[in-house]
Amino acid sequence: MTAASPLRVNIVLPPLHSERFSGGTLCILEHAHQLHRRGHTVTVVPTRPSQYPAWFGKEFGTLLHWPQTSAASALKSLACTTVKWGLNRTEGGKEAIRQDFVGLVRSLPQLWTPEFEQAVQHHMLRRLIPDADITIATQYSTALPVYLFGRGKLGYFLQHHEVIFANDTPDPEQTFKIADMSYRLGMRMMANSPWLRERVRTTTAGAPDVLLSPNAIDPSIFNGQPKPLAGPGDRHVTLISYGGRHVEWKGFREMAEATAIARRELPDYKIDWHVYGGASLPPDNAIAPYKDLGFLQPRALADAYRAADILLSASWYESFPLFPAEAMACGLPVVTTQPGTEQYAIPDVTAEVVEARSPRSVADGLIRLIRDPAHRQRIATAGWEMSKGLTWDAAGDAMEANIRAIVAGDGAPE
């Protein structure tokens, strides 16, 4: 294989929805797009029946998933096969019954236990994943199917240290074990941030070296200019935050308490707060009321950033989150936390980096930006300049080099 030869790449990911998506899913499809436009054959394989992602307007290769069937037709098929087997008693009839039984279970996802879901996914993905040079897992629930049924070399694109989030699931103990196991399967791992790479290196005994495959932002959508220096009489500030999908570690309560502190300590300012995405507190909460923007598609989100003055984030931990970088590209100064933002959030240079889980620290960073318009503009300008380097061309180059290294069996990218 020459260095320039095209590769066949399978990417296994959680189910896709036509309108809704997470930042992780967006980044996976962006990487798929980068590989596709470089001439590689990319097959995206969701672990469940999925919808075509209308929110992603770029080509990313082939979407391959198992079709959803109705329970009625599946039950009818099983009944017919069982009757035929009762008449003939052949081994082929037994196999047909097995297939139709799985089809019936597959058609009733609302009744699945985690064990049923895993069995159905394994049964289907074993037959669905095509031949390839490499098959890449993208989330802890996809790691075992890729390890068992992936074709070619096996890779694992990590977008967070997912053992951290076990408590967000219905069965935290089981989730922790599955997520922890995913790092120990021997697949070649790629992390989206230096923090995640180091964390996996230091917490997973015997793990092979972890490659770095950063994410990026789309400047054709997320763009703008830092706002002009605010005058002494300009006392109206609009904050914007991601609600965080109702999970505690996104720090929404800390953001609310910090906003309440800023409103109390800056009584001469009118501080509005806009929130997009689901949040753990309602808009009319008693701590810090906000305007609910709902779920925003990318272009509407960019418009919302440009209409605001400061991006407020207070996650306990992240691993290359998109929203602070997107806001920087739209010209906003950013209040954010670490770990996970180190590639673009330089304390007191490109961002106000504050302490996670500390409403007081978050409020102090926010108040500094509000009280000092010149500092706010400096932070915004430096962050805006930093965001220009977060391109998908560069991220695609890194991912392609890492994939070639994994396929070749090398210890480092070409």
The verdict on 134 and 175 lying in the same domain is yes
- Count of the separate structural domains present in the chain: 3
**pLDDT over threshold 50, residue 230:** yes
Q: Are 283 and 249 in contact (CB under 8 A)?
A: no
The verdict on 34 and 101 lying in the same domain is no
Spatial neighbors of 53 by CB under 8 A, at least 6 apart, are 16, 17, 18, 21, 25, 29
230 found inside a domain: no
The verdict on 191 and 246 lying in the same domain is no
Report for 77-81, 113-117, 330-334: range of highest mean pLDDT: 330-334
Distances (CA, A) of 231 to 84, 227, 349, 374: 83, 11, 22, 10
For the chain, the C-alpha Rg in angstroms (whole number) is: 24
The verdict on 255 and 308 lying in the same domain is yes
228 found inside a domain: no
The verdict on 207 and 351 lying in the same domain is no
**pLDDT over threshold 60, residue 3:** no
Which of 57, 87, 106 is the endpoint of a domain? 106
Looking at 40-44, 105-109, 261-265, which range is the least confident one?
Answer: 105-109
The verdict on 151 and 289 lying in the same domain is no
Q: Which two tokens stand for residue 51?
A: 């919808």
**pLDDT over threshold 90, residue 211:** yes
The verdict on 386 and 398 lying in the same domain is no
Q: Are 335 and 366 in contact (CB under 8 A)?
A: yes
What does pLDDT average to over the chain? 93
Distances (CA, A) of 232 to 229, 286, 335, 372, 379: 10, 30, 22, 10, 18
The verdict on 30 and 115 lying in the same domain is yes
- Report the pLDDT value the prediction gives residue 414, as an integer from 0 to 100: 40
- Report the pLDDT value the prediction gives residue 87, as an integer from 0 to 100: 84
The verdict on 240 and 197 lying in the same domain is no
* Average pLDDT of the segment spanning 118-141: 95
**Other beta carbons less than 10 A from residue 54's beta carbon:** 11
Q: Which two tokens stand for residue 219?
A: 């400047």
Question: Domain with 320 in it: what CATH number?
Answer: 3.40.50.2000
pLDDT band at 74 (very low <50, low <70, confident <90, very high): confident
pLDDT band at 410 (very low <50, low <70, confident <90, very high): low
1 found inside a domain: no
The verdict on 64 and 75 lying in the same domain is no
Which of 106, 132, 158 is the endpoint of a domain? 106
Q: Which residue from 165, 167, 198, 162 is spatially nearest to 183, judged by alpha carbons?
A: 162
- pLDDT tens-digit map of 114-124: 888 999 999 99
**pLDDT over threshold 50, residue 50:** yes
- Report the pLDDT value the prediction gives residue 2, as an integer from 0 to 100: 42
Q: Are 122 and 110 in contact (CB under 8 A)?
A: no
Please give the model's pTM, rounded to 2 decimal places.
0.91
The verdict on 366 and 287 lying in the same domain is yes
**pLDDT over threshold 90, residue 88:** no
**pLDDT over threshold 70, residue 264:** yes
The verdict on 209 and 248 lying in the same domain is no
Q: Which two tokens stand for residue 16?
A: 């896709």
- Structural domain including 299 reads 236-390
- Report the pLDDT value the prediction gives residue 1, as an integer from 0 to 100: 39
Distances (CA, A) of 13 to 37, 168, 319: 20, 19, 18
